[in-house]
Every structure is written in C-alpha cells, then in structure tokens.
Amino acid sequence: MIKIYHNNRCSKSRQGLQIIEDSGKNFEIVKYLEDIPNKQELKDIIRMLGITPIDLVRKNEAIWKEQYKGKDLTDNEIIEAMVNNPKLIERPIVINDSKAVIGRPPEKIIEIL
C-alpha cells in the first residue's frame, strides 16, 4: 500500500499527491500535522529513506531556527523535535512497501510507484 505524508498547504506536497492520484494506484493520505507520527514511525521512515534524522528536518522553519539551530543534538533529540513540532518534517514523504522517498522534486515519487 502506498502512503503519502501530506500537508495540503504545501505546493510540493499537493503536486506529489497529484502524481500518486494520476498513477491510479490505491493509496493512503496521512495528514501528518494532525496525525503526528510517533518516534518509532519516524525512525522507520528515516531507515526506509536511508538518511539521518537531520536530513528529514525542514531547517528553514522558524521553529528550527529559534529552538534548535546551532545546538549539538543527538538523533533521538532531533526525532523528538519532529514529534513535538511536526512542521519540521520534510514533505511530502511517500512510502511504497519498504521503499520511501521525499518528493522534492515531486517527480522523485514516480521512482517508487
């Protein structure tokens, strides 16, 4: 099953959703600002993406700049920051079975469909 972690206010996320809709495949939308992933879900997503937790952070968000930027944070602290402030999670994230991709640019989503 395909899953997209989606924020409708984000143009890249909307474009990514359109790519999945156009594929005609079944999928699930996770509105991650409302249905916030827990620590284990984020760890699983990060593992599937093959990245480190800091690579999933939106570093231009005001929350990051004001509360976290320049601090020496552990991976667990970074994950905790994303759980507590889901706006920090990069988007869209698309998962298809055990494969995952950050849809930036949105066309990257096609690789795992």
Cα four-point dihedral sign 26, 111, 41, 13: negative
**Which of the residues 1, 7, 9, 10 is marked catalytic?**
10
Q: Whose CA is closest to 34, among 5, 61, 73?
A: 5
In the residue annotation, 10 being an active-site residue is answered as yes
Task: Count other Cβ atoms within 10 Å, centred on residue 89.
Answer: 24
Collapsing DSSP states into helix, strand and coil, what is residue 33? coil
Task: Write the burial class of residue 92 (CB in 10 Å: 0-12 exposed, 13-18 middle, 19+ buried).
Answer: buried
Question: Which residues are the active-site residues?
Answer: 10
